[in-house]
Amino acid sequence: MTAGLKPAVKFAVMNEHGLLPVGADDAGRARDVADEQAALEAIRMLLHELPGGFGHRPLVGIGCGGVVEVLLQQRKQRLAVHGLVFTVKKRQFRLFFDKQSYQSNPIMRKLVLSCATVALAAQLATAQIKLPSPSPGATVMQTVGTTDLTVKYSRPSLKGRTPFTDALIPTGKVWRTGANQATAFTTSTDLMIDGKTLPAGSYAILSIPMADDWTLIFSKNMAVTEQTYKQDEDALRVPIKVVKETDPTQNFTIGFSDVTDSTANMTFMFGTAKAMAPLRVDVNTNAAANVDKAVAEKPEDAAVLQAAASYNLSKGRNLDQALTWIDKSVSMKETYRNLFVKAQILGKMGKYADALPVAQKALATGQSSNDAAFPFFKDGIEKTITEYTAKVPAMPAKGKKGKRA
């Protein structure tokens, strides 16, 4: 080693999980390394840890005798090695070094070359060349009832590490619940999570993992990081339970399970941990709002009016309004389908005498329509006619009078 440079290289990677010692001893401390090859290996590991997006968070800290410091941030990145400074600002990449230090220190000269490689990697990223990422991006979408849910996140991998330990995602601390940029969550309607309401909109998901439960956080700050997180920017925070799985999940995974038309579980899986957030939507209120909105936007569309009336019929909701809608649909274009809907609405209102002739007309219209879909409706219409016929009181035949005594 060159005189004046302490024979030690301490290297650690600061990625989305926190500060991770490389080549750590059993106590988790970074080992001292006394040769220049180790210094170069540290730089190579630095390059390996760079994400495809480059510079979305502080990434690494290298200590070479306490004087090498690397700090990569989104807008200002700086590397100082004795007299060496490497800066990245937007599309400008500059490398500065002290001439005397460079000439007298062989490690310095090799680090300069390595830093040039870092600059090239930064240029590639700034030029938006798609490169592999250690934590690749993913998008998951799920519809619950009429509510559309979308999650965009990055997926860190175990790489032989155990999550939710000091080595990877320490417990009790805020985590971005993914990697790279903040994990983004969007819900198209208001959503209930553990009985609490999350208004429709987009949020950043964070969490505070613990052994038996997590705190799940929805932040209004879409650019939030662990370092910039503020609780007063929370839109919602709820506790969620954690179960242990037998087979570890190698890549962090967000998904949805046990989906019905009004409920689902949002799952977070990494290692053997599986955290679940119970979701619920008010599907009836949301669907009714969609019906009213559709009619308001297309009040002269016969098909929309028929669909709106059919929904109200299926839910027993505002049958008078449903009858008004279907009457307008029939007046615009009479079909066996809207006639059958009208017959059923009248029957639901108990007006069987009015409903029966409409159902009979629906059957006759369908039989003469040459519609390939009519056979799927025929049995239902015929059963409805039979049901309504039984409920309509027998009427005396016209022209017949009773005999006088």
| Segment 140-177, tens digit of pLDDT | 999 999 999 999 999 999 988 889 988 789 899 999 99
Give the list of residues 6+ apart from residue 118 with CB closer than 8 angstroms, or none.
Answer: 43, 46, 47, 50, 79, 86
Residue 400: inside a domain, yes or no?
no
Q: Is the pLDDT of residue 190 over 80?
A: yes
Closest by CA to 313, choosing from 338, 333, 282, 286, is 338
Q: What is the CATH number of the domain that holds 365?
A: 1.25.40.10
Do both 218 and 331 map to the same domain? no
Q: Which domain holds residue 240?
A: 137-281
The pLDDT, as a whole number, for residue 124 is 52
Decide which of 99 and 157 is more confident: 157
This model's pTM is above 0.85 = no
141 and 254 housed in the same domain: yes
pLDDT digits (tens, 9 = 90+) for 379-391: 999 999 999 999 9
Amino acid 10: pLDDT: 34
Burial 32-47 (b: 16+ CB within 10 A, else e): ebeebebbbbbbebbe
Query: Under the phi-then-psi rule, with left for phi > 0, alpha for psi from -120 to 50, and beta for the rest, what region is 284?
Result: alpha
Q: Are residues 306 and 258 in the same domain?
A: no
- Number of domains into which the chain is organized: 3
What residues contact 64, with CB distance under 8 A and at least 6 apart? Answer: 5, 6, 8, 9, 10, 39, 81, 107
81 with 163, same domain: the answer is: no
Q: Are residues 104 and 155 in the same domain?
A: no
**For 272-314, how does the pLDDT look when each residue is reduced to its tens digit (9 = 90+)?**
999 999 999 999 999 999 999 999 999 999 999 999 999 999 9
